[in-house]
């Protein structure tokens, strides 16, 4: 199922603030939907709820329970709307149970004397072989993304490096806009998996994504870069930071996750 078909499937579902979407199993990650696509659907439902909402600056997501492919129901509400910023909450539901909750912060540009530009970078020029999609081995959703490792170990390689640098792009043809970018930013494997020497389950518990600038839609064939590193890991939990750089090499978003590692 093409990523744009997923986004187009998000439709109002009766009562105000109620939406539904159809998600095929090629967007699964183990026994649940890929977390990035859950967050993407939440953002799309927020946009449908408030079409005039300004740019998205922050998205806080908590993954409460597994949610299977198929028909997904969403509930959206406006938490607060100020003069220049607003906050919306979206919940993905499994029956009556909340499976995922996201809070988005949207804000208009405002006058400020504070400006600190991110360090200058170089355009992302990816070379080397792409990591192939291997049915039954790599998560289903990864067939929609291309990956090239620049630094760090592959998942389950027993690496001693607590970080990775990965070039990535969306394989589905078209463009990468705000919603697509939310999914792309969660598509790399946690660096903790690189430290393991055999396949081991892992699950993101919470995820924070912050945009530092907003780009117009970018062609899907362009490469992005994500640098991720473990801040600390113990007792089966890994805290990681990541930086997402655009095709021009400039910083676009900051990511922070808590990942449960079952091994």
Mean pLDDT calculated for residue range 50-75: 97
pLDDT value for 118 = 80
Per the prediction, the chain carries an average pLDDT of 94
Q: With 90 as the cut, is the pLDDT of residue 101 above it?
A: yes
Model pLDDT, residue 110: 85
The per-residue pLDDT for range 32-60, each reduced to its tens digit, is 999 999 999 999 999 999 999 999 999 99
Note the CATH architecture for domain 1-108. Roll (3.10)
Query: Is the predicted pLDDT of residue 144 greater than 70, yes or no?
Result: yes
Please report the pLDDT score of residue 186 as a whole number: 98
Can you give the chain as a three-state secondary structure string? CCHHHHHHCCEECCCCCEEEEEECHHHEECCEECHHHHHHHHHHHHHHHCCCCCCEEEEEEEECCCCCCEEEEEEEEEEEECCCEEEEEEEEEECCEEEEEEEEEEECCCCCCCCCCCCCCCCCCCCCCCCCCCCCCCCHHHHHEEEEEEECCCCCCCCCCCEEEEEEEECCCCEECHHHHHHHCCCCCCHHHHHCCCCCCEEEEEEEEEECCCCCCEECCCCEEEEEEEEEEECCEEEEEEEEECCCCCEEEEEEEEEEECC
Residue ranges covered by each domain of the chain? 1-108, 129-263
Residue 90 — pLDDT band, cuts 50, 70, 90? very high
pLDDT tens-digit profile of 6-32?
999 999 998 889 999 999 999 999 989
Q: What is the mean pLDDT of residues 133-144?
A: 93
CATH 3.10.129.10 fits 129-263, yes or no: yes
pLDDT of residue 126 exceeding 70 = no
The pLDDT tens digits for 215-260 are 999 999 999 999 999 999 999 999 999 999 999 999 999 999 999 9
Q: Is the pLDDT reported for residue 212 higher than 80?
A: yes
What pLDDT sits at residue 95?
86
In this predicted structure, the answer to whether residue 125 has a pLDDT above a threshold of 80 is no
pLDDT, tens digit (0-9, with 9 covering 90-100), for 189-202: 999 999 999 999 99
- Same fold for the domain at 1-108 and the one at 129-263? yes
pLDDT at residue number 214: 95
């Amino acid at each position: 199922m093409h990523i744009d078909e997923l986004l187009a499937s998000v439709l109002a579902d009766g009562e105000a603030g109620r939406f539904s979407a159809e998600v095929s199993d090629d967007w699964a990650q183990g026994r649940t939907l890929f977390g990035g696509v859950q967050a993407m659907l939440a953002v799309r439902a927020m946009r449908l709820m408030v079409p005039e909402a300004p740019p998205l600056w922050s998205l806080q997501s908590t993954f409460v329970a597994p949610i299977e492919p198929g028909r997904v129901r969403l509930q959206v509400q406006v938490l607060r709307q100020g003069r220049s910023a607003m906050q919306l909450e979206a919940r993905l539901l499994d029956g009556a149970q909340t499976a995922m909750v996201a809070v988005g912060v949207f804000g208009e540009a405002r006058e400020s004397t504070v400006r600190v530009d991110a360090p200058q970078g170089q355009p992302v020029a990816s070379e080397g072989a792409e990591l192939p999609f291997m049915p039954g081995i790599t998560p289903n959703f990864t067939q929609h993304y291309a990956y090239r490792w620049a630094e760090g170990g592959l998942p389950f390689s027993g690496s001693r490096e607590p970080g990775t640098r990965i070039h990535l792009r969306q394989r589905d043809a078209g463009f990468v806009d705000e919603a697509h970018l939310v999914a792309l930013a969660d598509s790399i494997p946690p660096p903790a998996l690189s430290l393991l020497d055999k396949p081991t389950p892992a699950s993101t518990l919470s995820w924070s994504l912050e945009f530092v600038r907003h780009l117009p839609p970018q062609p899907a064939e362009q490469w992005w870069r994500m640098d991720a590193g473990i801040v600390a890991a113990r007792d089966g939990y890994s805290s990681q930071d990541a930086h997402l750089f655009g095709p021009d090499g400039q910083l676009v978003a900051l990511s922070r996750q808590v990942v449960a590692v079952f091994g």
